[in-house]
Amino acid sequence: MTHFQSTGHSGRFNADVAGSRLLWSRHQIIQLLRRFIREERSISVHYANEGKLIVTRALGLNTDLDRIYFEYGDHKAANSLLLRSHNVQFSMENAGGSSQFTSPRVRDVLHEGKPVFHSPIPDRIVQSDRRLHRRITIPEVSAPVVRFTLPDGRKAEGQLADMSSGGIGVIGLATDLKVPTGTLIYNCLIELNDGAGVLVNLEIRHSGAQIGADGRLTHRVGFSLTSRPTGFSALLKAFTVDL
């Protein structure tokens, strides 16, 4: 549990010694949520005692009904478990840090004719200067190969550069690989050196050119996970070194 030092009710934040800020102003909370909606910001939803994860977007906000509307994930079983879960945590990356809030439970509803789930507008949001997910750099000599097929049928291959519980970074892709942010990739194969592999579903969050270690221009793409199979968790653990 995070303990916050009181700064009085005239300010917008309470701050703790670790640099986290507790945002409790309803006006500021609504403004922040509206910005995440407008920018279609990726949101991680942790549920089932934080053992499950989906990545979604906020679709809209209704202050009269005290609701935020979110897209469902791609898998019906995961969505059903989400609706039965208590203590659902929402996490959003924000300028190198993160914003987080919890909801005791989410509900199923129709929003603009589409099945979605909703949560009450939080009365507080914890903002931190720390990244949402700790990123692990993958040694180049042991980096798995990442293979996937784009929705238009093009095939792509690169090298796993880093990973976290929320996504992966891939380098070495063809420089002419131009794919818009938000593109969904299904059954992406992370292939290990011993021939074993892990299949994950991903969403492209950012991409750009960079100079590789050999001095050649290459392409780097950052993906967020839309599914988190057991094999991915095991892979993440294998590359994690506890100091």
Domains of the chain, residue spans: 13-128, 136-238
| Range among 21-25, 92-96, 127-131, 234-238 rated most confident | 21-25
pLDDT above 70 covers a percentage of the chain that reads 81
**Tens-place pLDDT, residues 25-57:** 999 999 999 998 998 777 888 887 655 777 788
The pLDDT of residue 46 is 82
The pLDDT of residue 208 is 78
Q: Greater confidence, 120 or 223?
A: 120
**How sure is the predictor about 181, in pLDDT bands with cuts at 50, 70 and 90?**
confident
Burial (0-12, 13-18, 19+ Cβ within 10 Å), 233? middle
The pLDDT of residue 212 is 61
Please name the fold of domain 136-238. Answer: Thrombin, subunit H (2.40.10)
Amino acid symbol at 148? F
**Tens-place pLDDT, residues 125-170:** 988 765 555 667 787 777 899 999 988 899 999 999 888 777 888 9
The CATH class, in words, for 13-128 is: mainly beta
**How sure is the predictor about 68, in pLDDT bands with cuts at 50, 70 and 90?**
very high
The pLDDT of residue 3 is 33
Other Cβ atoms less than 10 A from the Cβ of 228: the count is: 21
The least confident of 95-99, 141-145, 170-174 is 95-99
Mean pLDDT, rounded, for 5-11: 36
Average confidence score pLDDT of the chain: 79
